[in-house]
Amino acid sequence: KVKPQLEEKEGKTFDVFTAVEFKTQVVAGTNYFIKVHVGNDEFMHLRVFRSLPHENKPLSLHSYKSSKTKHDELTYF
């Protein structure tokens, strides 16, 4: 659900978009920190926010870090 949001921010499309790891952080909703393989040896770290159920809002891409590798540690940001 966040792939189109990232593609719009980056101004390009990703043929490969596979989540390989994630962590969560409970706030007033949930932050998901997701390591995504986007092709070749390139990875991106995404911060995706899911609001509380009663707010009925879609998942939103809050921020991301590009130029990551498979071995870069997924951290909170």
pLDDT digits (tens, 9 = 90+) for 25-67: 999 999 999 999 999 999 999 999 999 989 989 899 999 999 9
pLDDT computed for residue 1 by the predictor: 86
23 located within any domain = yes
76 located within any domain = no
1 located within any domain = yes
Which residues contact residue 66 at a Cβ distance below 8 angstroms, ignoring those fewer than 6 apart?
Answer: 10, 42, 44
The total domain count for the chain is 1
74 located within any domain = no
Evaluate if residue 22 carries a pLDDT over 90.
yes
31 located within any domain = yes
Which residues contact residue 40 at a Cβ distance below 8 angstroms, ignoring those fewer than 6 apart?
Answer: none
- With beta carbons less than 8 A apart as the criterion, state whether 4 and 10 touch: no
pLDDT computed for residue 9 by the predictor: 93
pLDDT computed for residue 45 by the predictor: 97
59 located within any domain = yes
